Amino acid sequence: MSRRSLFTTLLAAAVAGTLLAACTTLDDFQRQVIFRPSKEAGRTPAEFNAPFEDVWLTAGSQPGKLHAWWIPAKTGGKDAPAALYLHGAGFGISANLPRIMKLHDEGFAVLAIDYRGFGRSEGGLPSEESAYEDADAAWAELKRRSPQGKRYIYGHSLGGAIAVHLAATPAAQDAAGLVVESSFTSVREMQQYTAYKWIPLAAVQTQFFDSLAKAPKLCMPTLVMHGSNDYRIPVEVAQKLYAAAPEPKRWLLVEGARHIDIPTRYTAQWSAALNDFRTLAARPRGACAKA
């Protein structure tokens, strides 16, 4: 090999290595900004005098166990409705405990999971793909634990996007319904409301969470709820997501509510909407037209 050819080869390898490192760094940056994982794990349902079980799951091909709580329903046994709770970014199930227990108060058995990298779950920085795998594993576990009861998917904020993805998969077509609280359409659209709106995301994007593209494929009743004072996600973004979902569906706008307090501060409205939705979900379904 000539000296010039060797130089060209080394230069190409250096450029490739730099681009690969840059892509890896950008991917990590996106995942960190989106998930902001917390290892907080101090609170448990015992704080509410509720019997519960620590559950450990495996998901996908990546190493590490997932931690979850199984909180049986107060009444109804195996026939009680059951909900998979998918939390948002920043804080896991420990910080979401009051919200989770509101579902339990409504008569649900609840399986609440921490994605990889959150709480007591193992693994490093989560990704869109790993979060979807975690939700898949949790849904399979919920079906195993509640084979007779009506099963619902409940997602808050980023968990709403994960819930929409799960609900659109073949594995979750037996769900009784989907509840999406304080969530968004896609990472691309939400970028314009952040300090990172100057980044040309289309050229480097690795995390999408495109609920808007998946919503028309939903084949179950859907409840979308949002607070009028949500400081993270504008109401019009949630309305766009709701508009994309097929019937049957319900919309709840809670006046004065912010991003995280609909179940805990506006419990009466939340509970009424949830009970109305369960009535809707109990009606016979027609054929589902896939988008």
Q: Is the pLDDT assigned to residue 79 strictly greater than 50? A: yes
User: What percent of the chain has a predicted confidence (pLDDT) above 70?
Assistant: 90
Supply the mean pLDDT for the chain: 90
pLDDT band at residue 24 under the 50/70/90 scheme:
low
Please give the single-letter amino acid code of residue 112.
A
Full-prediction pTM beyond 0.75? Answer: yes
DSSP E strands, 184-238: 222-227
* Least confident window among 5-19, 115-129, 131-145, 272-286: 5-19
Q: Where are the domains of the chain?
A: 3-281
Round to whole Å and give the CA distance between 257 and 251.
14
Task: Return the residue matching tokens 């990472």.
Answer: 187
pLDDT digits (tens, 9 = 90+) for 165-174: 999 999 999 9
Nearest to 52 by CA among 95, 89, 93: 93
pLDDT tens digits, one per residue of 207-229: 999 999 999 999 999 999 999 99
Q: What's the count of helices (H) and strands (E) in the chain, helices before strands? A: 10, 8
Confidence of residue 140 (pLDDT cuts 50, 70, 90): very high
What distance in Å separates the CA atoms of residue 271 and residue 251, rounded to the nearest whole number? 14
Region 3-281: CATH code: 3.40.50.1820
The pLDDT of residue 286 is 72
At residue 15, the pLDDT reads 31
